[in-house]
Amino acid sequence: MTLSQTNKNYKVKHDPVRAAVLEALILIQQGEQADNAVKLVTAGQNFRPLDIRFLLQLVNGTTKMKRRLDHEIKFYLAKPSASLPLILANILRLGFYQLIFTSRVPAAAAVSESVNLARQFTDKSQAGMVNAVLRARLREPQKIVFISKDEDPAKYLADFYSYPDYFVQYCLDEFGPEKAEKLLEAYNQPPHVTYRVNSLNSKPDEVTHLLQENNIEFSFGRYLPEFIHIQSGGLPLEEQLIKTGKVFVQDESAGLPVRLLNPKPGDNVIDLTAAPGGKATYMAIRMRNKGRVTALDKSHRRLELLVENAQSLGIKIISPVVCDMAEFKSEPFDRVLLDPPCSGWGTAGKKADLRWKKEPQDISNLVKIQTKMIDRAARLVKPGGVLVYSTCTIMRKENDQVVEEFLLRNNDFELESGKQFFHSELVNERGFIKTYPDCGQLDGSFCARMKRKLKN
């Protein structure tokens, strides 16, 4: 179902950007991924870059905060427990999001534009309801009540910060109440972009000079100085920096496994789930374009993107291989990187719909896959070689547990601490690298380094 198919009155004046947001929200609720939904609703539209940024803010923010918004909306409904029609529910969520979480949208505009959407895409009575509910929220914000944090901390945090119950409970159990709340709050901050400077054809000074000339605020990576965090939205200087191969868009946390692997010029290295190439290209750059990086992936289309990225960056040592890892056979490698499918709970700040698409059972299923993959990866490591296991999740089951159980099954591998490569604040007592979004503008991530013992 599209909004155009439900349209009853084409003469109502409404904002096309917010209409596109509404359609994206409906597509996401119907199962479409957020990124794809945005592509679908903006295709063929003549939106300015400013419009696109506003659209992304509203789509991602409203999607993330869906539970919080629904909690607040019910206090202004005549029948709080009644389910609302799909379009009406999303118009109200969008309106409430603008009232509560945007600083640049005047309250009057948030109300009037929401009413216009309702007039355009619902009927007169529902438009009247939207008007009444939003105005009531402005007049009587005190009507909204959250359960006491002391009485039920998990429900309070889930309602207030808008997460599924199981993830909030995991954070409380894993980190304690103070750290858990900081983490949940950090995931709700607007996502930022990080540029990785390509040392093959540029230097950090050259990139930062361009950013400064254009008054673009930035900060250097906390752990990897060639990573530059951009404080503004969008992809600034895309033509000058990204398309010329001077930088590559990659979160700093995604660079940590490569540094932990520590490939040297001349090494024979493999990235077992390589596309679209962030880690593989970083390895090649660290190797100064000397040696060989085998980039394995079962998706031909995604490997084509990897090849394009490598060419743009001036990399010549990547050998793409289209193959399922389970069927891949080769002589052993000096260095092996495994970044298996995971729940992605480290990237919940950037993937707005992730929190509503993942279930506890998904994690259990992924652990089985990860366990098989790390055992296969181990066979490709030569004696004296190194295996790095990395994920973009913060779930212990997918991280510590997978590695610890692997080490119990494979006594020819030994864990090597990350402290030889990173500051101790980044490394836990077992030598694992863990990052979280409430520290250093990094996604949540995990990586561990294991060395295959030399044969006696």
**Positions of the chain with pLDDT lower than 70, given as ranges:** 1-12
Domain range list for the chain: 3-143, 153-187, 193-249, 252-452
Supply the pLDDT for residue 4.
55
Supply the pLDDT for residue 439.
86
Which tokens hold the place of 342? 């995971």
Cβ atoms of 84 and 118 closer than 8 Å? no
CA dihedral sign, ordered 31, 32, 33, 38: negative
Supply the pLDDT for residue 359.
94
Cβ atoms of 235 and 427 closer than 8 Å? no
Residue 304 CB burial class (10 angstroms; 0-12, 13-18, ≥19):
middle
Supply the pLDDT for residue 455.
82
Supply the pLDDT for residue 6.
55
Which tokens hold the place of 310? 């490598």
The question of whether 392 is a catalytic residue gets the answer yes
Supply the pLDDT for residue 353.
96
Q: Which contiguous run of DSSP H or E holds residue 333?
A: strand 333-338
CA dist 290 → 92, 287, 330 (Å): 56, 6, 20
- Residue range 64-110, pLDDT digits in tens: 999 999 999 999 999 988 899 999 999 999 999 999 999 999 999 99
CA dihedral sign, ordered 365, 369, 370, 371: positive
Write down the pTM of the prediction: 0.93
Supply the pLDDT for residue 395.
98
Supply the pLDDT for residue 1.
46
Annotated active-site residue in 171, 323, 342, 392: 392
Supply the pLDDT for residue 370.
98
**CATH architecture of the domain covering 193-249:** 2-Layer Sandwich (3.30)
Supply the pLDDT for residue 11.
61
Supply the pLDDT for residue 14.
87
| Largest separation between any pair of C-alpha atoms in the chain | 82
Decide whether 3-143 matches 193-249 in CATH topology. Answer: no
Which tokens hold the place of 418? 């990350």
Supply the pLDDT for residue 7.
52
- Residue range 338-353, pLDDT digits in tens: 999 999 999 999 999 9
Q: What is the CATH number of domain 3-143?
A: 1.10.940.10
Homologous superfamily (CATH) of 252-452 is: Vaccinia Virus protein VP39 (3.40.50.150)
Please state, as a whole number, how many other Cβ atoms lie within 10 Å of the Cβ of residue 143: 11
Helical residues (DSSP H) of 122-272, grouped into ranges: 124-139, 153-161, 165-175, 177-187, 204-213, 252-261
